[in-house]
């Protein structure tokens, strides 16, 4: 879905995850107590996850996910795309729309931010990825990571403190990404002639240069352009 403002992102995520996931003790026959617990959705009481957990397991909450989204949404001053999914956990992806990427970050070689939250109850750690990505095709359908950092938090007694720290980190993203956008726009405004640059670095063959020298110069220039295009 495409969303216009950060608070709309928060509302959309809260609407998608309008339930909690709670840990309850599992009983044996005739109410026999066990050391095992199960995770259940509050809206339909379905079992969440792929097995039981122990008393040491500390589940993340829907509010944790929404708090991260609240902080992350403030990092974008533009229209956003937000994808949400629940399957044994919460999954959220936030990034500028394709139109915004083309308008702000360029159309041929743009760099843009993206946040991905993977919060499963499947035995894996809660993870949040914050990174810069670039488009590798003109229709903006394929992209790859330029730089990213992933924080993983295990569902143990340390989850609550680390989750609070992560929310604070998300809250300071706005300044860093705003600076990056300004820098990208400045660099895109600089006109650079690659041919002139290469001539200054490698020199240009004289008018009376041999055919071999001209061929070497041509092949080297083409190879550099091809490498730049691929990069």
What backbone phi and psi angles, to 5 degrees, belong to 144? -140, 160
Q: State residue 215's pLDDT score.
A: 80
Mean pLDDT of 202-211: 70
Which segment of 28-32, 101-105, 210-214 scores lowest on mean pLDDT? Answer: 101-105
CB count, 10 Å around CB of 83? 13
Quickly count: other Cβ atoms within 10 Å of residue 166's Cβ: 20
Kind and range of the H or E run holding 158:
none
* pLDDT score at 225: 60
Residue with tokens 């691929």: 230
Tens digits of per-residue pLDDT, 42-95?
999 999 988 889 999 999 988 888 888 887 766 666 677 888 999 999 999 888
Model confidence, pTM: 0.67
């Amino acid at each position: 879905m495409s969303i216009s403002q950060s608070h709309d992102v928060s509302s959309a995520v809260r609407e998608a995850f309008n339930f909690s996931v709670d840990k309850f003790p599992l009983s044996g026959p005739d109410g026999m107590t066990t050391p095992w617990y199960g995770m259940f959705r509050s809206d339909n009481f379905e079992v969440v996850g792929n097995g039981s957990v122990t008393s040491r397991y500390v589940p993340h909450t829907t509010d944790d996910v929404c708090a991260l989204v609240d902080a992350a949404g403030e990092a974008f001053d533009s229209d956003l795309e937000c994808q949400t999914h629940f399957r044994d956990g919460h999954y959220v992806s936030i990034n500028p729309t394709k139109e915004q990427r083309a308008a702000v970050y360029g159309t041929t070689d743009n760099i843009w931010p993206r946040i991905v939250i993977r919060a499963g109850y499947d035995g894996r750690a809660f993870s949040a990825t914050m990174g810069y990505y670039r488009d590798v095709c003109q229709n903006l359908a394929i992209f790859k990571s330029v730089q990213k950092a992933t924080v993983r938090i295990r569902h143990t007694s340390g989850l609550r403190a680390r989750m609070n720290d992560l929310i604070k980190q998300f809250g300071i993203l706005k300044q860093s990404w705003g600076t990056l956008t300004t820098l990208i726009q400045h660099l895109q405004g600089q006109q650079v002639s690659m041919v002139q640059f290469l001539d200054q670095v490698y020199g240009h063959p004289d008018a009376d240069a041999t055919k071999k020298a001209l061929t070497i110069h041509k092949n080297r220039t083409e190879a550099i352009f091809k490498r730049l295009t691929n990069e």
